[in-house]
With several copies, the nearest count.
Chain A
Amino acid sequence: MELSHQQLADLYYRLWLIRLFDAAARRLFMENKLRGTTHTYTGQEAVAVGACSVLRPDDYITSTHRGHGHVLAKGGDPRRMMAELLGKATGYCKGKGGSMHIADLDIGVLGANGIVGGGIGIATGAAYSATVRGTDQVAICFFGDGASNQGILMEAGNMAALWRLPIIYLCEENQYAEFSPSRPFMAVEKLEQKAAAFGMPGVTVDGNDLLAVRRVVGEAVARARAGDGPTFVVAQTYRVEGHTVGDPLTYRPPEEAEQWRSPERDPIQRFGRKLVDDFGFTSAELKGLHEQAQQTIDEAIRFAEESPEPEPADLWEDVLA
């Protein structure tokens, strides 16, 4: 689990990639260039980047409606993602999926999902599949604190525990579900208590501390790969922006988000400080990585904007294999 300087730099770069991708998505949405809805991952970047940093390219993840961060963390191509947001033929889904349905089967991304809880069965199935095919692949199922109230979590979790499937249920407790705080909707005191009902270990981690996420998920992944079954991980974090781009955020005090944007709490700044303090990075280096991420995003936008729209006949393609 020791990380090289290059690896650490890459993690930092990815945090920024996500942050800047979503900043761009927000801007494009406000410019009416996107359709439907767009959900940003801002403030939660350390969860996806930390968790995916322990995965292999052939491992699986399932994502949610708030999926950009997960896909980028797993190695998704920002150009094809941005093109998808713009509904272009070069997008991951040829413009048919949009923000909520980005998938990259080649790197194990089994899709963002418009149904809250919709990825839970799929991720569990991918883990089951690995055991039948006799590989040591692992699956991470990302879902929100709101999603933890969907019954399929208990159903799939129970089977994962019974069959000792190589899966991590990674619940991002970002404190909101749509336009309501999430806590008043769960009868348990701590989310990890649910794990008891699913017959698996539960653990809570500071989701804004990338290395902590990496450690906890790393242990869970190691256990999963060794055939010792699933783990329920609760990553505590905060949804810094609105539920969707355009959400007027009338239902919470603005100071709350401000606190989470502060250098003490912001996951990127926290990780940056750690890199400087403990791993010998210079501020200039960090600045360089940040800029590099910005270039990648700029180039992705250019690529997306220059890409062609799908052809009318594409409507009828891809319904059946």
Chain B
Amino acid sequence: MRELSYRDALNEALHEEMARDPCVCILGEDVGRYGGVLQITRGLYEKYGEKRVRDTPISEAGFVGIAVGAAMTGLRPVAEIMYIDFSTLAMDQIVNQAAKARYMFGGKARVPLVIRTQGGGGRGNAAQHSQSLEMWYVHTPGLIVIQPSTPYDAKGLLKSAIRNDNPVIFIEHKLLYNTTGPVPEEPYLIPIGVADVKREGSDVTIVATSRMALLALEAAEQLAAKGIQAEVIDPRTLKPLDLSCIIQSVQKTGRLVVVNEAPLTGGFTAEVTARVQRQAFDWLDAPIMQVAGADVPLPYNGRLEMAAIPQVRDIVDAALSVCYREA
């Protein structure tokens, strides 16, 4: 099958959806003429013109608000917030307006809005450009939250997000753009809310999101060398979460490690841990292990940053520990 980068897969998804539906439009800083700081919107301005591909001023609250209003009135905007850290400037528009409009209005509004943004650390961008804020949005009723880890998932899920009638927070990872993987030429969609078993195994379940899914696969290789077969599950959609896929796996393995890059406290690993301990209590042979970011703002220095973000080694150690094996 054809190989594409995560970047190109996203770009292709946007091209296809804009061609399919004249209501799809793009807003954001430098998304037009320049093609996006990360080049995800490359070529769209030339093809669809400035009405549908709007370069905006540096006004996150304003252009996200505009996207919300546009979504309520017949468009399907895809707004790009360059770094998820800047979504802090548009929180009212995302959380109080987009997420709640439908419910507050008794089901009358549709808000088919996609906010594409990018999170995570690892490039030395320091504390204001490296956050993993997915849990704020997972905690907000009325939003869908997606974090793809492969080019294939990125394309299929972005297309589904655009066609979905709800506000979707679509979070890419800055270290994934140059990764490559198979992406079919034929059109396809990936359903929202369905996890993907990235590797099958019987000894321990590893649930890992976004870039952490790739690290979990590496960890699984190392574990295999030690005779431990890890099942790696990428939820892909954090909300709604495909819990049954995870539960089924845990019923098989009896052991669970959850990996997420955000700071441990209040993070996604806690959410999965809580759900699984309740629904699969009797199947668990060991406490669930959480592998998560350090509870610190991300530091600039490379050594420190590595230490603040889960590494393959941490996942391996956690898996060994739930299998009651020495590291």
Instruction: Give A residues with C-beta under 8 Å from B.
Output: 34-37, 60, 62, 84, 87-88, 91-98, 100-101, 103-105, 110-111, 113-118, 120-133, 146-147, 149-152, 155-156, 158-159, 162-163, 177-180, 184-186, 251, 309-310, 312, 314-321
Contact = CB atoms under 8 A, between A and B. Distances in A.
Contacts of B93: 121
A100 B96 CA distance: 13
B303 A312 contact: yes
Contact of A129 (B61, B69, B86, B106): B69
Contact of B123 (A36, A127, A149, A180): A36
A310 B86 contact: no
Nearest to B55: A180
Interface residues of B, number: 76
Contacts of B73: 60, 110, 125-126, 129-130
B141 interface: yes
Contact of A149 (B59, B101, B305): B59
Given A35-B123, A36-B129, A319 B97 contact: no
Given A96-B304, A101-B104, A316-B296, A120 B65 contact: yes
Contacts of A110: 69, 72-73, 109
Contacts of A35: 123-125, 300-302, 305
Most buried by B among A62, A121, A316: A121
A128 B296 contact: no
A96 B102 CA distance: 10
Nearest to A88: B301
A95 B304 contact: yes
B135 interface: no
B65 A125 contact: yes
B62 A132 contact: no
Contact of B62 (A60, A118, A121, A179): A121
A309 B303 contact: yes
B75 A132 contact: yes
Contact of A315 (B75, B112, B308): B308
A21 B165 CA distance: 34
A319 B141 contact: yes
Interface string B137-162: 00001101000000000000000000
Given A92-B105, A179-B34, A321 B165 contact: yes
A96 B106 CA distance: 6
B69 A36 contact: no
A257 B300 CA distance: 31
Contact of B300 (A96, A151, A152): A96
B12 to A, nearest CB: 22
Contacts of A115: 85-86, 89, 92, 96-97, 128
26 contacts: A35-B125, A87-B300, A103-B104, A103-B105, A105-B72, A114-B85, A114-B126, A115-B89, A121-B65, A131-B51, A150-B59, A152-B65, A155-B62, A156-B59, A159-B63, A177-B58, A178-B30, A180-B34, A186-B57, A251-B34, A309-B303, A310-B304, A316-B294, A319-B141, A320-B144, A321-B102
B124 A98 contact: yes
Residue of B58, B112, B124 with highest tally of chain A CB at under 10 A: B58
Contacts of B142: 319-320
Contacts of A146: 57-58
Interface string B53-77: 0111111011111111111111101
B108 interface: yes
B251 to A, nearest CB: 27
A172 B17 CA distance: 39
A129 B165 CA distance: 16
A197 B111 CA distance: 31
Nearest first, the 8 closest Cβ-Cβ pairs linking A and B are: A121-B65, A125-B69, A35-B124, A155-B62, A98-B300, A114-B128, A93-B106, A94-B106
